Amino acid sequence: MLAVTYDDVVRFIQAYADVIAEQKDHLTQLDSAIGDADHGINMNRGMKAVLAKLNGHASGDIGATLKTVGMTLVSTVGGAGGPLYGTLFLQLGAATSGKSELEPADWEAALAAAVDGVIARGKAELQDKTMADALVPGRDAYRAALEDGASFAEALRRSAAAAEEGMKATIPLVARKGRASYLGERSAGHQDPGATSSWLLLKTVADTWAGD
């Protein structure tokens, strides 16, 4: 695949909603250890609302559709997930405004904007035990893969693999942001739910756009 079409982007959004529904209980279980035990429930509610909003609305404008996803998540997902995932999709949308297809460099720019937006919104740094611990490695691996001359599909796979490693690396960390930070040392030994849903997002992108 040399470029991603509008329909491909919609397929990714639909697939991510399905993945979140499948992983809802797991995400909530992870959140019960170090958070409010609602991350999976909240994300599932938000993605269901996204599907309802997009049903029958094919604008052809990738950016506009991603912004709609972001605004819907802001208004329907509770806790920190709403503003953070809303920001992620709003930034993806802003970076792809007016586009009907995305080339590898377009996704690089969009992903960079999204990660910057999440970091700015959450005031998070690497190893704070947050979404950023999956998103930053995913962004960096994608960029490095393109610079190495990798295909679009291979770059997406490397992005997802790096995000998975970043997610797993949150397990020993002591949380420094959000609800989990209240636990101090007791937050160590648990995988971060936000990093997990962020890995699932980049994995879904790879599975949808780089599928064999």
What pLDDT, in 10s, does the model give residues 161-194? 999 999 999 987 767 666 666 566 766 878 889 9
What pLDDT, in 10s, does the model give residues 40-75? 999 999 999 999 999 877 789 999 999 999 999 999
Q: What is the DSSP string of 70-101?
A: HHHHHHH--TTHHHHHHHHHHHHHHHTTT-SE
Which two tokens mark 175? 């949380």
Specify the residue for token string 């910057």.
116
Contacts (Cβ under 8 Å, ≥6 apart) of 19: 200, 203, 204
Return the domain boundaries, the chain: 4-209
Query: Of 135, 185, 187, 194, whose CA–CA distance to 165 is shortest?
Result: 135
CB 9 within 8 A of CB 50: no
CATH node for 4-209? 1.25.40.340
What pLDDT, in 10s, does the model give residues 11-48? 999 999 999 999 999 999 998 887 788 999 999 999 99
Is the model more confident about 104 or about 34?
104
